[in-house]
Copies of this chain bind each other. A is one copy, B any other.
């Protein structure tokens, strides 16, 4: 059976500066106990041995889904963002459409679902642009992010606990708000900065890059 974590981990290249690494000591897990579990996370405790050989107890928060996010870019260089109240930080956050994809689902299908449910959009072109490990000292959370364009409207179908607001803003306005610290969601920040990089480096079509980078 497909597990999106296995695919995520298997296709992890080694950087050019580390092509013939020396033998290196690793962390060793000597067992696993689940100390908490609900549908969104599992917390596991492990007797462990550190790379230095020191004994340790390591506790990891393991989300039950792979995070999938998408920045939808319209032909005029604007992007659609969603606003929602977030419980953990007790704040209101503006973000790109994103959510959890079960590990037995193709993460791209999860991103398509979030784009439709939250933003009411479907995209003709999808480009995977980032794979990140969100907090690798205490969690095993993995995320995949896409850019999407050639957008068309579809019916929205929000989650029963969500109240979603929408904004359509010029891409460079989003960049300015990241600069100001007004947009802080890590997936959105990294994906927008990656989109800027791809536009500047001609890694996306010229007409799209030109529209995104326009400030007038």
Contacts and interface: CB of A to CB of B under 8 A. Distances in A.
A86 interface: yes
Interface in A133-166: 133-143, 160-163, 165
A135 B14 CA distance: 26
A190 interface: yes
Main secondary structure of the interface of A (DSSP, over half): mixed
Contacts of A36: 35-36, 43, 59
A132 B190 CA distance: 10
Contacts of A35: 36
**Copies of this chain per assembly:** 2
Contacts of A194: 178, 189, 193
A182 B86 contact: no
Contacts of A62: 88
Interface string A66-100: 01000000000000010111111111111000011
Nearest to A61: B61
Residue among A13, A132, A140, A194 with most chain B CB within 10 A:
A132
A207 interface: no
A9 B181 CA distance: 10
A210 interface: no
A117 B83 CA distance: 39
B136 A180 contact: no
A202 interface: no
A177 B24 contact: no
A58 B89 CA distance: 12
Contacts of A173: 16-17
19 contacts: A12-B182, A15-B94, A25-B85, A27-B87, A29-B90, A36-B36, A36-B59, A38-B59, A40-B59, A51-B85, A51-B161, A51-B163, A61-B139, A86-B136, A86-B137, A88-B138, A89-B133, A135-B139, A175-B197
8 smallest beta-carbon distances between A and B, as pairs: A193-B193, A50-B161, A13-B182, A27-B87, A51-B163, A190-B190, A88-B140, A132-B186
